[in-house]
Structure 1
Amino acid sequence: MDIIIIYTSMTGTTEQMANIIAEELMKVDKRVVLKDSIEVQAEELISYDMILIGSYTWGDGELPDELVDFYDELRHTDLTGKIFAIFGAGDSSYTHFAKAVDILEETVKGQGGRILVDGLKTDRESEDNLNESCRLYCKKLTQALELVWAH
């Protein structure tokens, strides 16, 4: 199974999440490509079995500037039959906690993609908590993938 993880990060938390998730998926024999969102074009996604997108939330519930070009392409790409999972860092002191995760999930669904598991939203986690949250998320992902491929 070929998986791509696309992320954008400002403080490094979402990048750290992407790295942990990639490591965990590689432990269960998944082939993983990890790319910053500014290095990816949406049309590349078609060649992967599963796509993970990670983003922090900017301002009052907006996508960060670094993700806008990729996002605009994503909104115009047919994602029918593609499997996705979304993750991101947020700050619960804001009204729209980790809203980028919700925006990306809605967009993927609108373009025909399938969200495999609910998005992972982290809130200023300690490093230990962040590692554990990402590991549990990967466990859910791999279990859900097993069900998908069994049918």
Structure 2
Amino acid sequence: MASAKIVYASMTGNDEEIADILEEAFENLDVDVDVSEISQTDAAEFEDYDIDIIVTYTYGDGELPDEAVDFFEDLQEEDLNGKIFGCAGSGDTFYDDFAKSVDDFADAFKKTGAVEGAPVVKIDLAPEEDDITALQAFAKQLLATYNAQN
């Protein structure tokens, strides 16, 4: 059975909701899933899982959330060769750098040697019905990429 680790940063609850949607999607796919808040998680924990996911918001004009900065820096030092990763999160389309932190984390994962298992998913503010469908497809694609490599 595949395993997945979802680490999230959430200020308003939108990204915690995204993490919960992904958790349920993975459970429905018979994936063993663990979810934790970014400030309570060490980046090295990703070594223990097959599929690694970051869910984050973007603060202000494209900045990482304050509580995610240390994790972001530590992540880039990890060796996650053979792992599958995915990034999702919320933003506000009002800003020019809509959900930039999602892309920043995807770039950080690439430095670890992990393989991007699905394109990033960016959600405008809170997830709605179309977003839930996109997140379920995201989880399925991550699992399919993992299965194709194992």
Give the secondary-structure state (helix, strand or coil) at the position aligned to 1:121.
strand
Q: Is the 8 A contact 2:82 2:114 kept in 1?
A: yes
Give the secondary-structure state (helix, strand or coil) at the position aligned to 1:10.
coil
1:80 match? 81
Instruction: Give the residue type in structure 1 aligned to 2:132.
Output: N
2:17 match? 16
Instruction: Give the residue type in structure 1 aligned to 2:96.
Output: T
Counterparts of 1:70 and 1:84 in 2: how far apart (Å)? 15
Deviation at 1:130, TM superposition (A): 3.2
Counterparts of 1:28 and 1:51 in 2: how far apart (Å)? 15
1:108 match? 109
Give the secondary-structure state (helix, strand or coil) at the position aligned to 1:79.
coil
Deviation at 1:125, TM superposition (A): 4.5
Task: Decide which moves more: 75-84 or 4-13.
Answer: 75-84
Instruction: Give the residue type in structure 2 aligned to 1:92.
Output: T
Relative contact order (C-alpha < 8 Å, sep 6+): which is higher? 2
1:51 match? 52
Deviation at 1:126, TM superposition (A): 5.4
Deviation at 1:142, TM superposition (A): 3.1
Instruction: Give the residue type in structure 2 aligned to 1:145.
Output: Y
Deviation at 1:41, TM superposition (A): 0.6
Q: Is the 8 A contact 2:3 2:33 kept in 1?
A: yes
Counterparts of 1:132 and 1:27 in 2: how far apart (Å)? 13
Counterparts of 2:147 and 2:44 in 1: how far apart (Å)? 26
Aligned CA RMSD, in angstroms, stands at 1.5
1:30 aligns with 2:47: no
Matches within 5 A, 1:116-127: 116-125=117-126, 127=128
Percent identity reads 36
Residues 47 and 126 from structure 1, CA distance in 2 versus in 1: closer, same or farther, beyond 3 angstroms?
closer
> TM-score, normalization: structure 2?
0.91
1:103-137 Cα shifts (integer Å, max 9, x gaps) = 01111111211111111101135533332232232
Counterparts of 1:126 and 1:134 in 2: how far apart (Å)? 9
Q: Is the 8 A contact 2:19 2:55 kept in 1?
A: yes
1:135 aligns with 2:136: yes
Give the secondary-structure state (helix, strand or coil) at the position aligned to 1:63.
coil
Counterparts of 2:132 and 2:139 in 1: how far apart (Å)? 11
- What is the total number of aligned residue pairs between the two structures? 149
Q: Which runs of 4+ in 1 moved over 4 A?
A: none
